[in-house]
Chain A
Amino acid sequence: MIINHPILGPRDAAEFVYLGDASLIDRPDWQAEDAAEQFYKYGYLRDNPAGQHQELWYHEQGDRSWLVVTRNTLSHEITQVELARDVARAKGRDT
């Protein structure tokens, strides 16, 4: 596969480490009333969609960016690649 890195251009997937569902960005509030329940879901429950999937890839053999890659798990078509930091900020992660 080839991942079109937003800064470095097209790179072979072999340069990356795969993590999984990009929902890992959505780390719950540790002080929430039901923090334990939320962290349980955050840690253990994932969707496994056949089709569009947003996932985290880490450019370990490159610039060490974490990327959010939107990939179709059936065709491997990649429709969007973003810096995970930009995605996290856009989601309003405050610190």
Chain B
Amino acid sequence: MTQVENIGTAVNFVSEEAQDRTPTSFAGQVNRVGTGLTNPGQKMSFTFNGRKMTGFGGDTLASALLANGQTLVGRSFKYHRPRGILTAGSEEPNALVELRSGAAQEPNTRATVTELFDGLMAKSQNHRGSLNFDMMAVTDFASPFLAAGFYYKTFMWPKAFWEKLYEPIIRAAAGLGSLSMQEDPDSYDKGFLHCDLLVIGAGPSGLMAALAAARSGARVILADEDFLPGGRLNAEGLEVNGAPGSMWAANTVAELASMDNVRMMTRTTVYGAYDHGVYGALERCTDHLAKSDGKPRQVLWRVYSKRAVLAAGSTERPIAFGNNDRPGIMLAGAVRTYLNRFGVVPGREMAVFTNNDDGWQTAVDLQNAGVELRAVIDSRDVDAPVHLPGVRYLRGQGIVNTIGRKGVKAVETTAGVTLPVDAVAVSGGWNPNVHLTCHQRGRPQWREEINAFVPGGVLPVGMAVAGAANGAMTLAAALAEGQAVAEAQLTDLGYRPVAADIPEAQDEPSKGAAYWHVGESRTRAWLDQQNDVTVKDVKQSFQEGFRSVEHLKRYTTLGMATDQGKTANIPALAIMSELTGKPIQDTGTTIFRPPYTPVPIGAFGGRSRGKDFRPTRLTPSHRWAEANGASFVNVGNWLRAEWYTKPGEKVWRDSVDREALATRTSVGICDVTTLGKIDIKGKDAGAFLDKVYSNTFSTLKVGRVRYGLMLREDGICYDDGTTARMDEDHYVMTTTTANAVLVYRNLEFARQCLWPNLDVHVISTTDGWAQFAVAGPKSRDLLRKVVDEGFDLSNEAFPFMACGKVTVFGGTPARLFRISFSGELAFEIAVPARFGNSMIEGLMKAGEAFDAVPYGTEALGVMRIEKGHCTANELTGQTTAHNIGLGRMVSQKKECIGNVLSRREEMIREDDVKLVGLRPVDRSLGLIAGSHFITKGEAANMANDQGWMTSVAWSPNLGHSIGLGFVKSGDARMGEVIHAVSPVHGTEMDVEIVSAHFVDPEGERLRG
């Protein structure tokens, strides 16, 4: 009897009064024997597979299902075996359900951690037909053929069967829950938190750690995955300071919640330990509510901690025996959770099977709750640690088989005893939750006394472990260790811990044996119930040579999927260790990786989805363009007008042809703000540009612009653009739209790392200036109406490649450049970005007299191909200055990035490809970009490849298709007719090699 006192008795949540009320108050809840810590005043209606049930506030879906007598909740992954609820926490392998309906439907949700709410709709998964009569259950009878490695061995041949037969069947059978295939209607957020001490887990040791830290004044975050903090204190009948442990937990939480320096986070799983004290946490904000009502459903937190205390507790493991997967067979600790926290029993006639003292506590609690206890079966040959009057003790025995299909009906022991039962509590001992200690490659150590792995190796920086997670498996030890570990962490941070008493509690009996499975079992003994892996599968894996735990995992799928084998891994590797004869320590564990429990992809995505996946950058004339018929195209993050549709224009070419023609005959206006703009200042600005450009800029006169070509250090072309010298020590560089950020980054690298003593500063001004190209023979006339009087725009005063500061529209500052991408007389004018909209309106108004048109990126492209100008189609990152005909621009007389390696033999071969123009011999044909060139009369294969077509356009000015391309020795093959072949399009045609300058080859227009 003294031992009974030692172990304590269940807290009186299950009063006689409550039992008396059962038939009426808990209507329908046939297995509700008390109220535990639930709130019976808060009645919750919910459905399971359409059947209406009720539960209480504070229930989980699992506890409510059990209360309603629903022990069968799903079908297993591979064999469609009837399965029930094994655990009471996030480690649950079986009780996966689909929640909600329509777009909000969520598959594979663990009923054991789903908080019950009024109106919850849940469905079971993975059955064809009803849960009770699953047509796929036939696979169970085929199980002798479906053992580990079945797929690898079976679906190999004939090869032709794979796509048509095997894959569709496997796909139809695979997976558990189903997706709604609709967009997730909920929103998700991300957030950042900082603290001195992060405490992970709000059980006895976590609460003590948080309390010690909070009282010392440190900033504390206490996170727990449960909605009710307290951990096992809420599940056990143990006392703290002479009162129920759950009461001490509630009081401690209340104290913590009242302190300004504490952030108490329930429903929050710390799922990963990352570098330098950074932790990932998922807070489930509205999962427990019927509707999110616009609030984020979940928040993904990045927690920056100076120190952390891992108080993640421990997870009970089962013992494997024949048909140990029947609904009603449950972990002993989970039985206590359902009984003490929720007032629910899984059955009325039960047996307890244990290899340790802790399992006996379940027997004590069940007997106190009035459950008919058929026997306690202990694998050990020991005296009963607890005297249970009237209960049969089967010493040194195990369960060898169970009877029943959709629920356990009886068990048979190794000694041949048959016990009729409707539920079984099983305990194989407890595993410390070491997961987060291993996320930085810590390696757990086997501790013989508790037959479990404890944290070992190098822990994540700043982390210490306390309580059951550290192998302190009893309450008094956990409380003391929580405080001690927190105090050490705080002292380390320079805080002075406030001395406090450790609450009074007992060390409950916790001895156990290393006993993993009942070897006498003749039927399948399940290890991983989520993946349907049996003891026999592990033996087969061993026989076939997959003996390392990592191979065992991949070969059998043990430990995969939503539970990651939290209840399965250790028994399985213990069995592997028996087979190999190596100690468990040497057998080791598979590597634990984040996340600890599943994190929805939606939470990782946060707000970055749909059009918000990337930022959208709008040009300063965007609103105007929208109002004027523009279609837009994505250019990086920018949206640019690609053409402006006028009434009557049916296809895009109608608009593009009109814009290109109007620009060449009168004047067109194009927003070119997206091109990168970089201000370069300092007395060494010119010397700096000489180093980053392949050509020389220090000699450029003030008020002049020069085309510049940038190389990579390996000698390949990187970017091009124009750079203007506005003042002696001030240049304005432009880059291509795509490379704006990268060129800027490289300039900073050159400035800080390569030439650190140059007096030069750079700043990106891409967003600072709205810039417009004004192109065409009437462009000067138009600009004269825009630029204020006193600025001479004549060809003599402001010739081709001139630049200067002007004012427009009566005093607005502007930068004017006489540069031309179209090949026409052209200017680019820039005003501060805030004037961009006014500027496009002003330019178009001033242009009315000349029938000015706005033009988009397509017309821009047409005109640049007509002039043979390169863009990213030609500067691909594989082409050299030599290839594009600008080899002579690469100065060898000065130091610059890329010039040394650009001289390499292979990069300056005369017979290398050269940029040329191309036109179809039959002018009615359209050229195809990507075509490859083959010398006439030769076979179209890669050995005969002569180059490729980079850009094509319909030239409205010439009336036929034109193209640019790279041809081997192209500059020496002018006039040759060559074959253009596109196997992808199934086309081939004769094309003529011509100059890339299709329009105004002498460049008279742009100088006019």
A: residues with CB less than 8 A from B are 1-2, 12-13, 17, 19, 24-25, 27-28, 30-31, 35-36, 39-40, 42-44, 56, 58, 60, 64-66, 75-78, 83-85, 87-89, 93-95
Contacts and interface: CB of A to CB of B under 8 A. Distances in A.
A53 to B, nearest CB: 15
A95 B749 contact: no
Given A25-B753, A58-B745, A66-B749, A2 B758 contact: no
Given A30-B895, A60-B745, A66-B752, A93 B757 contact: yes
Given A30-B900, A36-B900, A88 B756 contact: yes
Nearest to B762: A64
B278 interface: yes
B749 A93 contact: no
A61 B756 CA distance: 21
B275 A36 contact: no
Interface string B297-326: 000001010000000000000000000000
Given A30-B899, A88-B752, A89-B757, A43 B276 contact: no
Contact of B753 (A30, A56, A94): A56
A77 B276 CA distance: 8
B901 interface: yes
A88 B899 contact: no
A37 to B, nearest CB: 10
Given A84-B752, A88-B754, A76 B275 contact: yes
B968 to A, nearest CB: 25
Interface string B743-764: 0010011001111111000000
B275 A2 contact: yes
Given A1-B275, A43-B714, A89 B903 contact: no
Contacts of A94: 757
A23 to B, nearest CB: 11
Given A2-B275, A35-B900, A39-B901, A25 B748 contact: no
B940 interface: no
8 contacts: A2-B276, A17-B745, A25-B754, A43-B714, A76-B440, A83-B752, A84-B753, A85-B753
Nearest to A36: B900
Given A30-B895, A36-B900, A2 B278 contact: yes
Nearest to B747: A64
A9 B681 CA distance: 28
Given A93-B756, A95-B687, 11 more contacts: A27-B754, A28-B900, A36-B903, A58-B749, A60-B741, A60-B745, A65-B752, A66-B753, A75-B458, A89-B756, A89-B757
B633 interface: no
A43 B901 contact: yes
A83 B304 CA distance: 24
Contacts of B278: 1-2, 12
A-B CB proximity, top 6 nearest: A88-B756, A2-B276, A1-B275, A85-B752, A76-B275, A39-B900
Nearest to A91: B756
A27 to B, nearest CB: 5
Contacts of A85: 752-753, 756
A65, A66, A78, most chain B CB atoms within 10 A: A66
A42 B440 CA distance: 33
Interface string B277-303: 110000000000000000000000010
B306 to A, nearest CB: 10
Contacts of A66: 748-749, 752-753
Contacts of B304: 2, 12
Given A2-B304, A93-B757, A64 B748 contact: yes
A64 B746 CA distance: 11
B713 interface: yes
A31 B893 CA distance: 10
B458 A39 contact: no
B43 to A, nearest CB: 47
Interface string B436-453: 000010000000000000
A89 B754 CA distance: 9
Given A2-B275, A30-B900, A39 B713 contact: yes
A77 B461 CA distance: 9
Contacts of B275: 1-2, 13, 76
B904 interface: yes
Contacts of A44: 714
A30 B893 CA distance: 10
Nearest to A38: B900
A69 to B, nearest CB: 12
Contacts of A88: 752-754, 756
A36 B904 contact: yes
Nearest to B750: A27
B742 to A, nearest CB: 10
A40 B902 CA distance: 11
A65 to B, nearest CB: 7
A68 B758 CA distance: 20
A80 to B, nearest CB: 15
Contacts of A77: 461
Given A17-B745, A39-B900, A93 B755 contact: yes
A28 B713 CA distance: 11
Contacts of B903: 36
Contacts of A78: 276
A9 B1004 CA distance: 57
B497 to A, nearest CB: 25
Contacts of B741: 60
Contacts of B899: 30
Nearest to B905: A36
A30 B714 CA distance: 13
A2 B302 CA distance: 12
A35 B899 CA distance: 11
A24 B901 CA distance: 15
B797 to A, nearest CB: 37
Contacts of B302: 12
A4 to B, nearest CB: 10
